[in-house]
Amino acid sequence: MRNIVLLSHGTLAEGVFKAAGMICGDLQNVYYLCLEADMGIEAFKERLKELIEGLDGSDEIVVLADIKGGSPYTAAIDIFLSRGQINALKMIAGLNLPLLLTTLFKEQDLNEAGLNGIIDEARQSISRFQLEDEEEDTL
């Protein structure tokens, strides 16, 4: 069973979780934790540690964090290191809705190629609006 943990500064992780729920319905095995402005990093780490301990026995724990090197990201690394599970950590930075949806729908085990595939698919969702040339056939 794959569990997904969303981590962010502010309420981004909660917002992405709720938006995905609007699209997919009930999100089982997806959890979020937000580092709020009034929460110290030690309190955040303690809550994250409790969350991860509650997922013991999972086949996979995938952590999607908002910023590489940010406090939520480094807190996850610290916790997996302290548990002796750093090699089991599957973490991607750049949390957004397409990244979560891609992770939810990926059925294969998330080895190196699977994780890179998720990142590639999420990157493809980033685009800008551009008017098409009227003379081109856009069908």
Could you give the domains of the chain? 2-121 (3.40.50.510)
Q: Which of 130, 126, 131, 61 is nearest to 94 (CA)?
A: 126
One digit per residue, the tens of pLDDT, for the chain of length 139 reads 889 999 999 999 999 999 999 999 999 999 999 999 999 999 999 999 999 999 987 889 999 999 999 999 999 999 999 998 898 899 999 999 999 999 999 887 788 899 999 999 999 999 999 998 766 555 5
Per-residue DSSP letter, 9: E
The whole-model pTM stands at: 0.90
